Amino acid sequence: MQGLITSERAAKVYAFLARAGACPVEALAVMFGGEKKVQKAVRALTGAGYVRRVRVQGVEMAGLPGQDFSTERIALGWFAVRLAETGGIYDAETRKARFPSGHVLDVAVEERGKVVKVGKFRVRLEKLRENRLQEAIAS
């Protein structure tokens, strides 16, 4: 039996994970108010049975039970967060990115999880960790 979600932040994190798939907790912190606040929200969601925490190659990940926690999810999670910062949406189920402009592009992961391919663009994971999406694509 799952518990209640009483935190607005936890509800937002849950909704994001449900749509975008498993994600590095560090990336969630960028989007949802910092590391301490996200850790608290993820802890509450884990305790209530809504979220699992898994380490993938030393990276703490959060995702819904049954979601994919493969290595490529590290890059896809960072991409989903950076896209959301721009007002876009990543859908893990269809593997498509919808940009604020209305463009919809296919998303894939290459080079063993180190590069996210979005349409004709390629973005390196380390750039996504450091920069907003526009700067990451431009560099």
Q: Measured between alpha carbons, how far is 130 from 30 in angstroms, rounded to an integer?
A: 10
The string of pLDDT tens digits covering residues 50-69 is 999 999 999 999 999 999 99
User: Which run of H or of E encompasses 17?
Assistant: helix 8-20
The string of pLDDT tens digits covering residues 33-54 is 999 999 999 999 999 999 999 9
Dihedral, 94, 101, 112, 132 alpha carbons, nearest 10: -130
Q: What's the predicted TM-score (pTM) here?
A: 0.94
- pLDDT for 1 equals 54
